[in-house]
């Protein structure tokens, strides 16, 4: 299972339908050009090599692939137009919510490429862009040398709460949301789940909690029994993008999240190039731009679920007879090693996990 397009729409109330968030290689080669236009600066001022008139001192507005959107927003409140002030605000908001990186105070400048025409903002599929960026960040975070995770972690955390009740905040019953409200708002201000006193075993504890999950511990369809009836695009199969990031999206591997029996999925699509070293900095996946055409041909690039599978009959995690053997052969079924060390460490600590 994984985060799907309908999950993003329900949790964040941002649109799935719209144009794919892709950009040409020419636009991506020099993203600082758009930042200069936004701020009314030249490249020397943007990089901090010369002073910005009216700002008082030099400063690196753009450095190491990141842009100081907060400083730009304050600058444009005084020196910008209503349009550029709105653009800088959106750049700051999107960079600190949907397209978060690990720099804390900087925004990826490619976000600005989708804000140059304000009247076109509502024409993009922001849900697919957000999901593509999060998929990439989770892939990078899975490398042995990773030291953190970026992406829309509000989406990730609330998705966990909705699908895995055992990880929800203790002794809290989330309120019912209205039809146009973001389901993520149900978890505003709630503390983390049960505590683990000893930080040296905290990771091992949660890994063991994951390994102890059974299919019955998962809420497979938290938003709608047949979510594709409301968010048809969630059955799309192909590439989703955010600027230079391309990720394959394959709902055929997650049929139980649509209320259907899981079958052995077809082989995954192959990227043009894939390099996933232990150091996340060298993580590269390249998918030809020609794959993007599938987004605009939904009928021929989607899982026709009623012909492909059947609704579950006995329990919501139902699978075909051959699926579990296939899953065991192709997956890592446990997070912890089977050497007993992690269990010994966890059992020595005072821990609590509320189901």
pLDDT for 292: 92
Give the Cα separation of 129 and 279 in Å (integer): 24
Contact at 8 Å (CB) between 5 and 249?
A: yes
C-alpha distance across the termini of the chain, in Å: 20
Map tokens 């842009």 to a residue.
67
Paired strand residues for 255: none
Contact at 8 Å (CB) between 216 and 200?
A: no
Contact at 8 Å (CB) between 260 and 307?
A: no
Strand 21-22 and strand 238-243: pairing?
Answer: parallel
pLDDT for 9: 97
pLDDT for 59: 61
Give the Cα separation of 30 and 40 in Å (integer): 16
The CA-atom distances, in angstroms, between 288 and each of 62, 170, 273, 305 are 29, 46, 9, 27
183, 274, 265, 184: which is closest to 224 by C-alpha? Answer: 183
Per-residue model confidence as pLDDT tens for the chain (355 residues): 999 999 999 999 999 999 999 887 777 777 778 878 877 777 777 777 777 766 655 566 666 667 776 677 777 776 778 888 888 888 888 988 999 888 767 788 788 889 888 889 999 999 999 999 999 999 988 887 888 888 999 999 999 999 999 888 877 788 888 888 999 999 987 665 555 667 777 788 888 889 999 999 999 999 999 999 999 999 999 999 998 889 999 999 999 999 999 999 999 888 877 777 676 667 778 888 889 999 999 999 999 998 888 998 889 999 999 999 999 998 888 887 765 544 444 443 333 333 3
Give the Cα separation of 90 and 73 in Å (integer): 9
Paired strand residues for 249: 238
SS3 337: coil
Burial class from Cβ neighbours inside 10 Å (0-12, 13-18, 19+) for residue 337 reads: exposed
pLDDT for 222: 95
- Provide the token pair at 354: 């509320």
Q: How many C-alpha atoms does 352 have within 13 Å on its Cβ side?
A: 10
Paired strand residues for 110: none
Give the Cα separation of 138 and 151 in Å (integer): 8
Contact at 8 Å (CB) between 277 and 283?
A: yes
Give the Cα separation of 246 and 79 in Å (integer): 36
Map tokens 């048809």 to a residue.
232
Give the Cα separation of 291 and 301 in Å (integer): 11
């Amino acid at each position: 299972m994984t985060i799907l397009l309908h999950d993003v729409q329900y949790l964040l109330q941002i649109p799935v339908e719209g144009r794919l968030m892709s950009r040409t290689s020419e636009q991506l080669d020099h993203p600082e050009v758009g930042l200069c236009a936004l701020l009314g600066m030249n490249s020397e001022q943007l990089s901090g090599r010369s002073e910005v008139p009216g700002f008082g001192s030099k400063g690196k507005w753009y450095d190491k692939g990141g842009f100081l959107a907060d400083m730009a927003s304050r600058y444009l409140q005084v020196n910008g137009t209503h349009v550029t002030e709105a653009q800088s605000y959106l750049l700051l908001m999107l960079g600190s919510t949907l397209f978060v990186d690990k720099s804390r105070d900087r925004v990826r400048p490619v976000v600005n490429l989708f804000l140059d025409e304000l009247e076109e903002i509502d024409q993009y599929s922001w849900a697919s862009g957000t999901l593509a960026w999060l998929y990439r960040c989770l892939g990078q975070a899975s490398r042995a040398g990773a030291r953190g995770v970026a992406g829309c972690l509000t989406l990730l955390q609330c998705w966990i709460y909705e699908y895995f009740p055992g990880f929800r905040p203790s002794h809290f019953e989330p309120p019912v949301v209205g039809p146009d409200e973001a389901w993520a708002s149900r978890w505003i201000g709630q503390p983390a789940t049960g505590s683990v006193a000893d930080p040296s075993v905290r990771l091992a504890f949660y890994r063991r909690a994951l390994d102890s999950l059974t299919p019955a511990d998962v809420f497979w369809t938290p938003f709608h029994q047949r979510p594709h009836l409301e968010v048809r695009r969630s059955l799309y199969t192909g590439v989703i993008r955010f600027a230079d990031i391309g990720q394959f999206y394959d709902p055929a591997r997650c049929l139980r999240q649509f209320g259907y029996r899981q079958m052995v999925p077809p082989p995954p699509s192959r990227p043009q190039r894939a390099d996933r070293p232990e150091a996340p900095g060298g993580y590269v996946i390249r998918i030809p731009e020609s794959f993007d055409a599938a987004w605009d041909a939904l009928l021929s690039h989607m899982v026709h679920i009623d012909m492909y599978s059947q609704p579950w009959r006995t329990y919501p995690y139902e699978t075909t007879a051959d699926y579990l053997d296939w899953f065991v052969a192709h997956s890592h079924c446990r997070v912890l090693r089977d050497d007993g060390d992690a269990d010994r460490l966890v059992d020595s600590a005072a821990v609590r996990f509320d189901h």
